[in-house]
A and B are shown apart, each in its own frame.
Chain A
């Protein structure tokens, strides 16, 4: 594989950039692999990469119905953070933060990780107390957290609405300075390129049509490009998990929902933090191109349509304008939608299943992007060792049965009710 560096850039500039290698190959599926990963999104590609890198398992195929990185890894708002209160979520995410910091060097691919900090705004005394508690929990787990009062928030984001007579005055906020954003497509492409260079087959335009299961063991997968045998199969298809679960006769604690995001026209640098509204569901950051990147609530009903409806978008942007009134002057450039696995406690599932050799990675709700490296790392461990790692032990499938829910937001069993 050609290494990307300033020297290779100069060298290729001299030949008009016509001699770059392809970043990954386009192989046809073989008859058999040691491991098949279904889903060529961020998590699937990361899983294949860590299988090869950490566990030396390189006879691996990633099969993807469409093209790699065309699902939620290409549709998110690129926020990376680990500001969780519960130990399982906090330790998992903070492990991921370490991988994010090293990712560009590790993958020899610029993922443009930008640890610019995230501020969750508080709009009442009660919310300040909750944030103080969450901040303390984070610090106990070694995650940086700073509780800001109104004046401190005003210094950092003066463009927010600090006038006196507003419905949701800003009381302060909780900041995680090490949080940030990254270039989402680059994450998928970087993992794909490295996985490919270590021998992983990335097979696109290959839809799963069924599974071969006998005597409680998985033997292979049936696809639109032929049958593929494998003793181990990992599902990384958040958004389509329920469709594949049906083919396996499994019913999961997951509903599939639609989430929208949007960007404004590009403007000069105005916001150098990720900011979330505390009285509703709205988050915003500014991309390197200058667009304001925004998102918020689910559309609220089960959906597989990768496009949204206007009422939700209007509701979300109303919150945005309440928080930062200057947004009302901007034109909207693009809106789009992606489909989410909404798990019943708001936390993901990375676990073995009752079928031997079948592994499950799903239920990411709207927090999948930041988890990409940690999810891939722990899922690769779970598949390679046939047992969960301490980091994903809390993300078990049977926690709903045993009552060990990971209910970070306290929303109960219907996470789409907000």
Chain B
């Protein structure tokens, strides 16, 4: 089982969280003209790499906050967690 350190609540079991996908994807800016390709990349295309991966999780059965988690997709090791508004460095 994964153990995820929620930046608000501390270490909790995976059962309390739900997954939200790649955290490095950025929505194209509002009001800006965007190409089909940019929209495609935002909605559908994902790198989904083997290795370190920044991803969104929601502490659904806890504080209900969205958080960012850096996890290895091959070993499931978790390196770092951030609040949703903190930038990935």
Interface residues of A (CB under 8 A from B): 242-243, 246, 251-256, 300-305, 309-311, 344, 400-401, 413-414, 416
Contacts and interface: CB of A to CB of B under 8 A. Distances in A.
B49 A301 contact: no
Q: Which are the 4 A-B pairs with shortest beta-carbon distances? A: A253-B44, A251-B45, A242-B48, A304-B50
19 contacts: A242-B48, A242-B50, A243-B50, A251-B47, A253-B45, A254-B46, A254-B48, A300-B18, A302-B48, A303-B73, A304-B50, A304-B73, A304-B74, A311-B1, A311-B13, A400-B43, A400-B44, A413-B43, A416-B21
Contacts of A401: 36-37, 40
Nearest to A301: B19
Interface centre among A246, A303, A400 (most CB of B within 10 A): A303
A46 B43 CA distance: 33
Nearest to B43: A413
B88 interface: no
A310 B36 CA distance: 41
A414 B21 contact: yes
A390 B49 CA distance: 32
B35 to A, nearest CB: 10
A253 B46 contact: yes
Contacts of B2: 309
Nearest to B2: A309
Contacts of B76: 303, 305, 309
Given A302-B22, A302-B73, 13 more contacts: A251-B41, A252-B45, A253-B44, A301-B19, A301-B55, A304-B73, A344-B43, A344-B44, A400-B43, A400-B44, A400-B45, A401-B36, A414-B21
Nearest to A251: B45
A344 B19 CA distance: 16
B75 interface: yes
Contacts of B73: 256, 302-305
Given A311-B14, A401-B36, A256 B48 contact: yes
Interface residues of B, number: 28
Contacts of A305: 73-76
B49 A255 contact: no
Nearest to B45: A251
Nearest to B41: A251
Interface in B1-42: 1-2, 13-15, 18-19, 21-22, 36-37, 40-41
Contacts of B59: none
B68 interface: no
Contacts of B74: 303-305
B36 to A, nearest CB: 6
A243 B46 contact: no
Contacts of B41: 251
Interface in B61-87: 71, 73-76
A256 B55 CA distance: 13
A253 B40 CA distance: 9
A242 B49 contact: yes
B6 to A, nearest CB: 16
B79 to A, nearest CB: 15
Contacts of A302: 21-22, 48, 53, 55, 73
A310 B55 CA distance: 21
A317 to B, nearest CB: 15
Contacts of A414: 21
B86 to A, nearest CB: 20
A310 B21 contact: no
Contacts of A256: 48, 50, 73
B9 to A, nearest CB: 18
Contact of A246 (B18, B49, B75): B49
A301 B73 CA distance: 9
Contacts of B43: 344, 400, 413
A416 B21 CA distance: 9
